[in-house]
Structure 1
């Protein structure tokens, strides 16, 4: 099944009637909102229903987690990312999303809408109007109040029923590896616990986490002795659901003082985090770094924090309701601003490391670090915009390569414009942000705005003195703009002048490396194939030696084009494949679209018309995901048109249409992986 549904990490218990109801309403209604109190199980029910009914939606089930957002500013970017839209166009974000969804039949799940109800309602109305094949399943503590909305209230599990006791038992046995209800009196005690907690799944899971240090009967007694006291207290928790408040408050009471402090400080994280991040952000008197590690393990054991094993190591996260409780305590302690500062400092450090790693063997590691930290980098930027505009400008500048090279142009433009609005003081941070904005709008095809920004950048560089790196950054922007508007000579002159005025190695900085790349691209655009190929091979060899991927991928692109023009289709296919492998690893949808067009042209030239037509179809799907018709350097368009004519002539119109449709409707990532693996690339 197509989509990005999160993987379930624990067993699913009960909800048979609710799932049957959802199966029915998903077949009839287009907006279904699961409502209910925090901790009642809305997200798990939505996850199970979406997975079970995914077969109804040929274009998949796509999950957008809105819990990481503090405001509606990045709602569209989050939903666009979730459905695979890496829009590079200058269209308004909502228009681009609606156009992308217009002819699709898919299920869009919006999880945790309660703090963005108005914005979600507006977005859903736009989407459902523009895209008749889209169904939206939302989870929210509050209805979206849409006229199309079908409300499904999610109630607790029947407190006296078997499902609540089964949930308690399975969570205990999942941790301890033994059946807890075999102890004398345990079954009756478990029933008592579930009744006191009114069948609320999160509350039951928190209680189950106390079994181990205590027997089930002891947990029941401890809960009973605290229930009245905690349920009468309004301290740090609004009156919503008494049993859940009691369970969370009880878990909090059972924590040691340092564990409570860590719980509060961890609430600053918006997404998943690792131990190193937790130590960097939360350590501070009286909580040492070693204390953080030990306390974090204890919070995991109590189900306050969830741990997930990933390829890069363990990552941790708190559920929304528990994070909210912790953040209330953080405010009570008067530490919320200080911890937010530390959080912003840490993630600015992550961005600095990733930016420096962009020109070396850690480029892919840096990309993945930034991708994993994306929700917290957004939160850090929001904090800095409010408290430290210069810091916000620095962070935004550090994220430019991630944003522009890996498919986040809409977010880049919005964030950089906000930064430049608040950080008006001249200096390197503002200049770098301007260069980043210029590159962003250039890649969106908004050349008029890009030209104006390029002029502003040149003026800022001249006013700023003799900063070689700023000049190289400005030249890189001028070169990129010239190259994409058919002014290859201007692009070549710009980057050569800047590099000549400040000699250095290509890998001394990201902008310097990009200038070297623009030089190669411009030579090919001018038809200087021999010189372009020589420079491309020289720079590519250096990229291979240091393990750099992004620049190498565009050098492979150029070498493939040169091979095509030189009637070397086998070589063109090989270079196109190695380009696509790098782009796939970096999540660069724009580069993937370019590479697929090039691979199709090379296959056509190699006498493989049916494969070429299918690859053109797959490429079209990626071009749609970036919001452009086929684009790129102008010199490729005639190649594409000529190869399409060749393929049509070989297959006939019907054969071409059938092969093209196969590629266009196939699963993009799977098809891409197969194309890359089909034949060894050059090295």
Structure 2
């Protein structure tokens, strides 16, 4: 955000007053001289919003006039950057043994550069000074928490703060108290039960964490916390909280990546477990490249056997399949099958058959996929019906029956599978069942029913933030709309589908039987409205915001 006007405009002063009242509803600028002092504070801070917020948050310990004097003193001191390592008068990062010494040299961080008049404008040096002054106002335990929170890259809740930061003088209860103190100081922002720290403040805290010698310990705690999240998500993904777990994995993506990088360097077994447990989430929800990259790196780094390695091979195969690398998918499907047979692992056998079956479907071998899925489902009848691997293996059966043209059998199998998913609160497999029901109806010449099933599929994929699934569903919905004779509406939905394929990062996908249907329906749409009108509607859909385009597609009556 750019600086606010400070000369002749009320913006900066209004922000200061608003933050003052947010800190203490009884506070104001009513005392004689308060408003003039506040104007001086805003001028000294050059209208920088973050600096103004930090200053207003510290008012509880000073009057407005005292605050203006203190800030003026700090800014007028020649060569002084408050709170920087080695700066006169600054305390250790937590007010504890091991604080910053005058000879500290942390290398060239962005904050160090902010003090360099030859590199950065004056307003950046002003911001650093304001951050350092705010740091001085914190209690020793608040400073320590500030430092220990810095490994967190995304929003977090109090439980995560305790997991990542508790230790030594920071007991779990002290973490809670210090966290509220940092919120009061505007160092941490709160939104409901979620907290976040701005990047600039995080980097300042990271500088102090390094000076304390705690960077490795903090990274260890961070990685352990997010490995725990990966385990819980993996266990809960087929239950009634599936959508919630998908969102947690999606929302903490940067933290999971950071934890994986640390584990790859310091705990390869932990990295293999984590990459295997979150890889399917990533592969299904738009992070194909990360899923494949981390799975491959963890495989290359670790031991040659064990359950974590087997799960990694499966994730790598699924990611390769979704990227149309069928050779690699086939290789890892065979490896997973051999391992599951050797270990007599029924769940593993179902998972391997899902991977191999989808590979066969995508390479034009539906009869082989149907035979293998049916055989393995009979072999593993002891596995619970709501098992994720079992549901996915049944999905292969539905896809294969459709591809073989056995539409009545496929519809019956899909309907039964959908009921099983509904009972367990499972959305991911269910949405692909809706996709199959839409395709079956379209092939049977029932475009109205097809469009309804396609919209149900899209609603489920949207809940899971599954961009790949949304792209597939939009293509099928467009085909159903075209088959109804609504050429312009179909073109717009096709355009939105192309926008989603760009987001996913590769061209259109789909099982082989969808291609001819898609081409035939696109020709119908062009014939219905003419090439020029078709192209206009297509380009509108392609240029729409993705969410806006999807919302339009989900409406029964699509407006142009």
**TM-score, normalised to structure 1's length?**
0.70
Q: Name which of 378, 385, 402 aligns with 2:257.
A: 378
Kindly provide the CA deviation profile for residues 395-426 of structure 1, in whole angstroms up to 9, marking residues without a partner as x.
11111221111111112122212211212331
Structure 2 CA distance, aligned partners of 1:375 and 1:439? 22
Kindly provide the CA deviation profile for residues 16-73 of structure 1, in whole angstroms up to 9, marking residues without a partner as x.
xxxxxxxxxxxxxxxxxxxxxxxxxxxxxxxxxxxxxxxxxxxxxxxxxxxxxxxxxx
Aligned pair count reads: 523
Q: Which residue of 2 aligns with 1:357?
A: 236
Whether 1:588 and 2:475 are equivalent positions in the alignment is no
Q: Which residue of 1 aligns with 2:64?
A: 216
Please tell me whether the aligned partners of residues 13 and 166 of structure 1 are also in contact (alpha carbons under 8 angstroms): no
Please tell me whether the aligned partners of residues 472 and 510 of structure 2 are also in contact (alpha carbons under 8 angstroms): yes
Q: Deviation at 1:602?
A: 1.9
Structure 2 CA distance, aligned partners of 1:267 and 1:208? 23
Q: Deviation at 1:676?
A: 1.7
Please tell me whether the aligned partners of residues 3 and 49 of structure 2 are also in contact (alpha carbons under 8 angstroms): no
Structure having the larger proportion of residues in strand: 1
Whether 1:616 and 2:464 are equivalent positions in the alignment is no
Q: Deviation at 1:198?
A: 6.7
Kindly provide the CA deviation profile for residues 610-650 of structure 1, in whole angstroms up to 9, marking residues without a partner as x.
32233223323333333444320111112122222333333
Whether 1:267 and 2:150 are equivalent positions in the alignment is yes
Q: Which residue of 1 aligns with 2:119?
A: none
Q: Which residue of 2 aligns with 1:14?
A: 4
Structure 1 CA distance, aligned partners of 2:142 and 2:196? 15
Q: Which residue of 1 aligns with 2:371?
A: 493
Please tell me whether the aligned partners of residues 155 and 195 of structure 2 are also in contact (alpha carbons under 8 angstroms): yes
Computed over aligned residues only, the root mean square deviation of the Cα atoms, in angstroms, reads 3.0
Taking structure 1 as reference, are residues 458 and 625 closer, same or farther at Cα in structure 2, changes over 3 Å only?
same
Indicate the larger mover: 191-200 or 530-539. Answer: 191-200
User: Any residues of structure 2 matched to 1:27-42 within 5 Å, and which?
Assistant: none
Taking structure 1 as reference, are residues 176 and 469 closer, same or farther at Cα in structure 2, changes over 3 Å only?
same
Taking structure 1 as reference, are residues 427 and 678 closer, same or farther at Cα in structure 2, changes over 3 Å only?
same
Q: Deviation at 1:197?
A: 5.5
Q: Name which of 315, 330, 343 aligns with 2:194.
A: 315
Q: Which residue of 1 aligns with 2:441?
A: 563
SS of 2:456's partner is helix
**TM-score, normalised to structure 2's length?**
0.85
SS of 2:194's partner is strand
Q: Name which of 193, 210, 218 aligns with 1:331.
A: 210
Please tell me whether the aligned partners of residues 340 and 346 of structure 2 are also in contact (alpha carbons under 8 angstroms): no
Q: Deviation at 1:498?
A: 2.8
Kindly provide the CA deviation profile for residues 116-145 of structure 1, in whole angstroms up to 9, marking residues without a partner as x.
xxxxxxxxxxxxxxxxxxxxxxxxxxxxxx
Please tell me whether the aligned partners of residues 577 and 676 of structure 1 are also in contact (alpha carbons under 8 angstroms): yes
Kindly provide the CA deviation profile for residues 458-505 of structure 1, in whole angstroms up to 9, marking residues without a partner as x.
44445x522222222222211111111111122223333333222245
Whether 1:511 and 2:367 are equivalent positions in the alignment is no
Structure 1 CA distance, aligned partners of 2:73 and 2:525? 78
Taking structure 1 as reference, are residues 324 and 649 closer, same or farther at Cα in structure 2, changes over 3 Å only?
closer
Q: Which residue of 2 aligns with 1:443?
A: 322
Structure 2 CA distance, aligned partners of 1:243 and 1:679? 55
Q: Which residue of 2 aligns with 1:27?
A: none
Structure 1 CA distance, aligned partners of 2:542 and 2:173? 53
Q: Deviation at 1:394?
A: 0.8
Q: Deviation at 1:274?
A: 1.4
Please tell me whether the aligned partners of residues 4 and 48 of structure 2 are also in contact (alpha carbons under 8 angstroms): no
Please tell me whether the aligned partners of residues 397 and 432 of structure 1 are also in contact (alpha carbons under 8 angstroms): yes
Taking structure 1 as reference, are residues 222 and 668 closer, same or farther at Cα in structure 2, changes over 3 Å only?
closer
SS of 2:59's partner is coil
